[in-house]
Each structure stands twice: as C-alpha cells, then as structure tokens.
Amino acid sequence: MNAQAPVSAQAWCTFQIAGGHYGIELARVQEVLRPLPVTRLPLGPPAIAGLINLRGRIVTVVDARAVLGVGEPGTPAAGLIVVRGGEGPVALLVDAIGDVRRPTSPPALAAEPAADERGSLVACTLALPGELLVVLDLDRLLARAFAAPAEARS
C-alpha cells in the first residue's frame, strides 16, 4: 500500500460494526437503507445473510460482521448500505450507519495494517478528529464474502 495515496479528494461513507468505526469509498455507495426483511439462503456461504427485494430487484445481503470476523454474525443490524459491486448492487449489513466523512487537512494515514484476519481487507486507516477510521477495500471484502468457505480462510 502506498501511504501517499491521494485521499484529499475522497469521501467515505462511515458505519459501525461491533463498536469499530469503518468506512468505504463514497463513490461506491448507491444508497443507505433502514433494515428490510432479509430472506435467508439455505446452504449459502456464512457471510451471505440472504436476499432483499429492492424495488423489484433482488439484491444479495453480505453480513459485514461475518466477513470481518468481529461481533456475532446474524445479529440484527441497524441498516444496510447498498454498494456497487462487480456484477450489480450488493447490500452490506452494518450495526449503525454513520455519516459522510471528508478529510479536513491531509489526514494522517496509518502504516499498512499488520497481517491479521482483516489485514487484507483494510485499504488504509485514517486518523480523523475524534476517531480512527478503518477504510475497507470493498472489492476484497466482497470477494471474501462470496468465496467458498475453504477459500475464505486462506
């Protein structure tokens, strides 16, 4: 990861999962929703919470807690963030919806995260006033969510 990534023109949609503050690029967010009824998928991957009907379109719901390995998967969430995935919209199940954060002065970028369970999912860490924001790599997050269980662990 290049610590000098151009972040000044970016904005992030923020949310909370298991008490942690996370964000994804605002440009990838399609909309933010209150919880909707989720239809479970029998024998689906653990990170797939199910499907929602979004104005006549079937959208896959990813349990971000399960992908990140934090909190209890399946806990009722407070909101959904619909993002643009590779093949159409995908909804992320989150504990609480935050706000849009933009860097004030050049944000302090933390060094590349240590190689832990979530390390490859973190794009960067931003020190913003009053909080540390973990910006997730949405493409890697979705790839891990849709991976077969054996692939997800590697």
Q: Extract the tokens encoding 32.
A: 């933010």
Residues sharing a CB contact under 8 Å with residue 136, sequence separation 6 or more, in sequence order: 22, 23, 24, 121, 122, 123
Residue 97's pLDDT is 92
Residue 73's pLDDT is 63
Residues sharing a CB contact under 8 Å with residue 137, sequence separation 6 or more, in sequence order: 120, 121, 122, 123
Residue 5's pLDDT is 45
CA-based Rg of the chain, rounded to a whole angstrom? 15
Superfamily designation of domain 12-149: CheA-289, Domain 4 (2.40.50.180)
Boundaries of every domain in the chain: 12-149
The answer to whether 121 touches 136, Cβ cutoff 8 Å, is yes
- pTM higher than 0.85, yes or no? no
What pLDDT tens digit does each residue of the chain (154 aa) get? 344 444 445 899 999 998 899 999 999 999 999 888 889 888 888 899 999 999 999 999 999 999 998 877 656 667 888 998 778 899 999 999 999 988 765 545 544 544 455 458 998 888 877 888 999 999 999 999 988 665 544 4
| CA 63/CA 42 separation, integer angstroms | 15
Looking at the chain, how many residues does it have? 154
